[in-house]
Structures are given as C-alpha cells and as structure tokens.
Structure 1
Amino acid sequence: MKLKELNEKTPFFVEGIDIDAPKDFVFKFISEYEKHGLWIEGLKEETHTDVEGVVGSTFTEKIKKYGMEDEYCGKVLAYEADKMYQIEIGDKWVDFKIEYDVEETSPEKTHLIQTAWTLKGTSLHKLFNFFNRQILHNQMEKLKAAVEDEYKKIK
C-alpha cells in the first residue's frame, strides 16, 4: 500500500494530564532521547542526529509492539524550550505530527497536553486510529509515572 498525503487539520488525538513535577523537568524528560526508553513502550533502540537549534534534528526508533519490530523515522519540527516540542514520526504505514505542550500549574505541578495529527497514511489509516489513540494514551500514562518517579529521586 502506498502512503498518500493527508495533512489532516483536525487532530485524531488530544489529551491532557497533570504531572507532579516542575515544568522544566517534564519538558526535559520529553525532549531528551536518553529518557525515551522510560516511557515509550517497546523502544529497543534509538539513534539521533542533532542539529544546532534542535529544529531539524532527526531520529530513528526501533519499537517492538504486538510481537513485531518496526522502525520509525522522525524529525523535530518545532521547539520552544520548556514550552513546546513538536515532532513528525512515521513508519511504512503512516506519518504523524505529535506536539507536546507543557504549562506550569504550580511550581511543583505541570499540565501536559499531547496532540497528534495524521500527515500521511494508507487507505486503512483511519481504521488504525483507534489503536494509535490507545498507544498514545498509554504513553501519556507511562510518561507521567516515569517523570514522577524520576523527580522523586532528586527531590
């Protein structure tokens, strides 16, 4: 099946979660590759090429899900330190744009909003949105737990 341009304007996933850790700690946790294995389920390997200013940096992730290993390639589309991190990531079936927005609700609490859009996909991409939403939701829960655990260690 061939990927076709979709560039959907309406996100297929938007979810917010409160995390008991400071905003800069949460943002750093999301944007640093070294931490990804703590919250991206099935991540087996990640390589990256950083560029000055972060935007344009690229990465490759090997993820094992449902007994199969797949390779995802991506790049950083936008980066505002301690505020917003946006990536494009995809495999042979679909490409997504995912944005993480962090807001301080108190010095020790952060509200994280994750939004995802489909950029390219096969004709079956909408059938998989149910599974993709579930994967992203589970990632948010795992991210919250990992951030809070790591923050407790340094507190």
Structure 2
Amino acid sequence: MLITSQLEIQASKEVVFSYLEDNEKQKEWMTGLEGTEYLTEFDSTNPVGTKFKQRLKEGNRMQEYEGQVTEYNKNNRLSIQMNHPSFLIHISYKLKEISPNSSILYITEELTAKTVSGKIISILFRVFMKKGLEKQMKALKRSAEKQL
C-alpha cells in the first residue's frame, strides 16, 4: 500500500529538514513519539545504515518499533524503514526549494504486509493512515513555520 502527500511550508529547506532529522524536534510533530534510541553508532554526517528504536504512545499502550536510516542527503532527502510486527513501513521525505524561505515537502509512505492479518489491516485502515500522515504533516508545517 502506497500513500503519498505533499505540503508547501513557509520555511527554508534547512529548517524543515531539521524537524525531520532532530529527535527532539520530531516530538513536536510526530504523534505519540516518546523517544528515539540508537542501536548502532550514529554518524550525523552519514547516518545511512544507522539502526534505532522509537517509543510511541498509541492510545493507552507504549509501542516500540525498530527502524533503520536507508537514505540521507542533508537538507534534501531522508528515508527510513520501520519494522512493525505486521508491516514493513518505508517512509521517504524529499524537499524542494521554492524560494529561500519556502519549500515543498514530498512524503511517500509504503506499507508492505508481512502477514495475512497485516494485509487485511492495511486495507481496512488505509483512510485512517492517510489522515494520520496528513495530521503529522500539518503539525510539522506549524512547527517549521514558527521558526520564521
């Protein structure tokens, strides 16, 4: 299942990208994010291959998901892969500069079901997942634009 979205943000690519890569800033826009822990050495200049664990509060439960940085081009592109018990989730963020203080963020989220129940869940929750992504992107936009 593939979900795509794009959003114009009145902030530079550098500001927007800082909200994608900075663990503390992620908490401002990622719903339920409690924290990120690195499982392998983190190289801020080239984090591709870095493994991490994110703790997310989902309803009344705390969930932990392991992930890995799969692509990184400072201020331009960031891709990660998250491992959910029923899905493999690949998320890609790409930034395009419109002007020095305006950017477009393109988001692609691809879910690959690992189980039969995962396939059923992905079909049933497609609309919910798209709305969740849009909600997070609006929160990211608000956070980045307040930096101006």
TM tier, shorter chain? 0.7 to 0.9
Alignment of 1:4-153 (within 5 A): 12-48=2-38, 49=40, 50-51=42-43, 53-123=46-116, 124=120, 125-149=122-146, 151-152=147-148
- Could you tell me the TM-score, scaled by structure 2's length? 0.87
Cα deviation for residue 80 of structure 1 reads 1.1
TM normalised by structure 1 equals 0.83
* Distance in 2 (alpha carbons) for counterparts of 1:122 and 1:64: 23
* Equivalenced residues, count: 141
Contact 2:23 2:35 in 1 (8 A): no
1:131 is aligned with what amino acid? F
Cα RMSD after superposing both structures = 1.6
Kept in 2, the 8 Å contact 1:96–1:118? The answer is: yes
Amino acid at match of 1:58: K
- In the alignment, the residues of structure 1 paired with residue 62 and residue 126 of structure 2 have an alpha-carbon distance, to the nearest angstrom, of 19
Amino acid at match of 1:136: L
Structure 2 runs not aligned, ≥5 long: none
Q: Which runs of 5+ in 1 are unaligned?
A: 1-10
Alignment check: 8 A CA contact 1:12 1:129 kept: no
Shift of 1:65: 1.9
CA distance in 2 between counterparts of 1:122 and 1:134 reads 23
Q: CA deviation at 1:122?
A: 2.8
1:70 maps to amino acid:
Q
